[in-house]
Amino acid sequence: MAAVDHKRYLERLEQLAGRGKAEDFYLWPRTPIENIQTKIQERVGVTDYEVGAPISRPAMIIRFVERLSQRGLLPRAFSVLDIACGDGIVLWQIHKAFPQSACYGVDCNKGEFPAHSMVERDGVRLYKGYIQHLFKKDSEQPFDIVLMLNTYRDWKAADLRGHEIDLPDLANRWFERNGSYVILTTERQGYEQLKRLGFSIRTLGKGEDRSNLVCASKRRLPRTVFSEVLRKWGKWGYSKAQSN
């Protein structure tokens, strides 16, 4: 079964991006371009290239996607959207692990990261876009998996303008409508907001700095080894609620 093609939706976002000035939309001006994997290593412990390391972000995501697939919760040719995908290495690792997947990335710095030519050559499709447009426009059909990693947990570091202060809430509402399984890195506040909206949540592992990498969904979620350990021992304050 072929994955749903979201090309028209993403091309529309790219068209909207081309009509505006970057300075009117840019929210994380301190995001590194040349040395982004160095920053990820500082925050996670390993880079996204180290897919053989169990604690790497792509390794944790791939393990969970395998679990979803084994339980028949994903189509064989599933779609993935990485919002604010950075250098695209996480998507690249997912596409290598699941060659039939349709992997899309949206980032306002498309073409600026040195790795972009490599990941696009290997089948990842990247689009220039701003989250201000994305979170106000629904896809015609939901993505099977949506990723929003360090950017999601770091709203407090975003240079939100007065008319953008509702972006975190818009993001959560967009996830409800447009993602079957949403993988995020989040701290306590983001976790609690998602729970109030009725998302079930499973912890996949440690995220950047003091955040957790989680999957949030309105659908059935399989347990992970990590969430089972947290449930059993009641660690990290909010972990007990994750078994609901």
pLDDT in tens, the chain (244 residues): 445 679 999 999 999 999 988 888 878 766 778 899 999 999 999 999 999 999 999 999 999 999 999 999 999 999 999 999 999 999 999 999 999 999 999 999 999 999 999 999 999 999 999 999 999 999 999 999 999 998 888 777 778 888 888 998 999 999 999 999 999 999 888 889 999 999 999 999 999 998 999 999 999 898 776 655 555 555 544 444 444 4
Q: How far apart are CA 209 and CA 40, in angstroms?
A: 9
- What the chain holds in terms of domains, given with CATH numbers, is 7-243 (3.40.50.150)
- Look up residue 121 and give its two tokens: 């050559």
d(CA 177, CA 164): 20
Print burial letters for 121-158: b (CB count within 10 Å at least 16), e (below 16): eeebbbbbbbbbbbbeeebeebbbbbbbbbbbbbbeeb
CB 45 within 8 A of CB 80: no
Please choose, from the candidates 101, 139, 140, the residue with its C-alpha nearest in 3D space to the C-alpha of residue 122: 101
Q: Residue 219 is inside which H or E element, if any?
A: none
Q: Which two tokens stand for residue 236?
A: 């990290």
